[in-house]
Copies of this chain bind each other. A is one copy, B any other.
Amino acid sequence: MFGVTILGNNSALPAYNRHPTAQVITLNDHLFLLDCGEGTQMQMNLYKVRRSRINHIFISHLHGDHYFGLPGLITSYGLLGRVHDLHLYAPSPLQNILGLQLSVSDTKLPYKLHFHSLENETMLIDDEKFSVESFRVFHRIDCWGFIFREKRKPRKINLEATTKYNVPVEFFERLKQGEDFIFDDKIISNEILTMPNKPSKMYAYSADTLFSESLAEKVYNANLLYHEATYLKDKSDKAISRFHSTSAQAATIAKLANVKKLIIGHFSSTYETLDEFLSEAKEIFLNTQLALEGQTFLIT
Contacts and interface: CB of A to CB of B under 8 A. Distances in A.
Given A39-B42, A42-B39, A72-B68, A12 B101 contact: no
A42 B15 CA distance: 8
Interface in A1-30: 12-15, 17, 19-20
A105 B15 CA distance: 21
Interface string A63-74: 111001101100
A169 interface: no
Copies, count? 2
A41 interface: yes
A199 interface: no
Contact of A42 (B19, B63, B64): B19
A71 B64 contact: yes
Given A38-B72, A94-B104, A96-B100, 20 more contacts: A12-B75, A13-B79, A14-B42, A15-B45, A38-B38, A38-B39, A38-B42, A38-B69, A39-B39, A39-B42, A62-B101, A62-B104, A64-B71, A64-B105, A65-B72, A68-B72, A97-B104, A104-B141, A105-B141, A106-B140
Interface of A: 12-15, 17, 19-20, 38-39, 41-42, 45, 62-65, 68-69, 71-72, 75-76, 79-80, 91, 93-94, 96-97, 100-101, 104-107, 140-141
